[in-house]
Structure 1
């Protein structure tokens, strides 16, 4: 008895849509934005939370779609990206451009409804990511520095959405996520070095998987930990962290630093992969600790 396989085009269309907008990445960015909102809000407005989540998703999805349009020929050269909708030929450039443009417009409108400053920072983020970071990726390792700017905006964006103000508090949130991105992306660049090389991408600070890169990973991990602890000292306005939470953040940071030293010792793709996962765990748990600390203090 033979069976007939039924092709469901809607499944592949949905999959391609998720891929062109990088849904998992977009959701992690929305998580950062919402965490920033909870930190900044004196009274939580869940309508604003919803608008921030939707607007943030639109903006990240637009950035990723534009990025994949620009890099479609290079994506075809790399194993991890060659099956994306554009290089695989499942989606036309016009369709991807339509999605990216629509997402940009909708994202800006939704963020503007929250307040104009939130929309402005959203616009700055997408502009730097698409127009500066993406072209620089094949030119210089400094692209990681440029890319860290839009990558650091979401955590800060949530505070701006809550307060309609940019001051030392969102500036601190920006710096935490800014410094964090160096060990995070260098770990990815080391782990996927051979694949990135096929596409001509320069992701590591020295251009090579060597001692120099590993040392910089350690240094920026240390900077990330130190910046994350600044709110404990009461110098960042309304953004405050109790000593107990500070110890938790320090322990999380030392865990990440452990994997940074392991990379220095082993200099292997496997060690870099472990550091990448450790860095994702660090920033996620940090945001949870920061928000939990605030609400526990308010309840007490």
Structure 2
């Protein structure tokens, strides 16, 4: 009996650790930084790739840990978050703080071994996420704007890790992921509206599930599509797209836009949830097309 108890305890420690660092989200962020690296690099260095994946994971894990420490009382009010390790009482604030601090230090050291700029952008993303985005979420819908900055850094971070240079190319990657986050976050804010309200979070631009929010979602989706095809015109330095890839990217954008318009027409939580799922598929697809296009061109 004690054996099964200890294995259960081990399982819950591991699952709590995964939850405090938001493992799935962290992995998706690491994916975008690896894509940025592949787009920027001349010849792939697998050691740098592994360091970037580890450093990136630690940075995102640290941000999520600090975020859950700060929001522990609000998390307890919402169905979506009340079972997280801290509000549920399975992990103390001190333990979470120690994990997050260790992750921050490890993340910055690992990224620093790639180059100084990569470490600097990594540190900026932790700072903005923890000290600006998290406290603003209960104050103003502009929190999404602030949160989109650290959210857009990983894609660009990969390029900087590959080239040790910040120019038009990583700037374009940053802009693409920055604008994409608005329809993505607002879709989440829409279908979790009532739950967010319990925690006092203001995520939608108008503060309501209304036409104004839906129109802004469409506008930012259009901006995302426009930025995604800019590399085909040749003004983004080494970041280039072939005509075929640009057509595929544009097609994926129209698919994304269809769901944003659908939210405007239907105004339902189901439509918002579908838009959120499409937005995740869209950004992953775009990143894959960019990389495949680079290596077959």
Give the alignment's TM-score, normalised by structure 2: 0.98
Q: Is residue 2:188 matched to residue 1:188? A: yes
Residues 1:119 and 1:5: Cα distance change in structure 2 (over 3 Å): closer
Which residue in 1 is equivalent to 2:80?
A: 80
Structure 2 gaps, min length 5:
none
Which residue in 1 is equivalent to 2:44?
A: 44
Which residue in 1 is equivalent to 2:129?
A: 129
Q: Map 1:154-165; keep pairs closer than 5 Å.
A: 154-165=154-165
Q: Map 1:67-216; keep pairs closer than 5 Å.
A: 67-216=67-216
Q: Distance in 2 between matches of 1:151 and 1:226?
A: 19
Structure 1 gaps, min length 5:
none
Which residue in 2 is equivalent to 1:6?
A: 4
Q: Distance in 2 between matches of 1:284 and 1:4?
A: 44
Which residue in 2 is equivalent to 1:241?
A: 241
Q: Distance in 1 between matches of 2:191 and 2:227?
A: 26
Q: Distance in 1 between matches of 2:223 and 2:267?
A: 21
Q: Distance in 2 between matches of 1:174 and 1:132?
A: 19
Q: Distance in 2 between matches of 1:105 and 1:59?
A: 9
> Shift of residue 211 of structure 1?
0.3
Which residue in 2 is equivalent to 1:281?
A: 281
Which residue in 2 is equivalent to 1:21?
A: 21
Q: Report the number of matched residues.
A: 295
Cα shift readout 1:28-87 (whole Å, capped 9, x = no counterpart): 000000000000000100000000000000000000000000000000000010000000
Q: Distance in 1 between matches of 2:143 and 2:53?
A: 27
> Shift of residue 234 of structure 1?
0.5
Cα shift readout 1:85-110 (whole Å, capped 9, x = no counterpart): 00000000000000000000000000
Q: Distance in 2 between matches of 1:150 and 1:13?
A: 28
> Shift of residue 225 of structure 1?
0.1
Give the alignment's TM-score, normalised by structure 1: 0.97
Q: Distance in 2 between matches of 1:204 and 1:5?
A: 48
Cα shift readout 1:8-44 (whole Å, capped 9, x = no counterpart): 2110000000000000000000000000000000010
SS at match of 2:4: coil
> Shift of residue 6 of structure 1?
2.8
SS at match of 1:189: helix
Q: Distance in 2 between matches of 1:94 and 1:274?
A: 38
Which residue in 1 is equivalent to 2:56?
A: 56
> Shift of residue 177 of structure 1?
0.1
Q: Map 1:240-279; keep pairs closer than 5 Å.
A: 240-279=240-279
> Shift of residue 5 of structure 1?
9.5
Cα shift readout 1:156-201 (whole Å, capped 9, x = no counterpart): 0000000000000000000000000000000000010000000000
SS at match of 1:238: coil
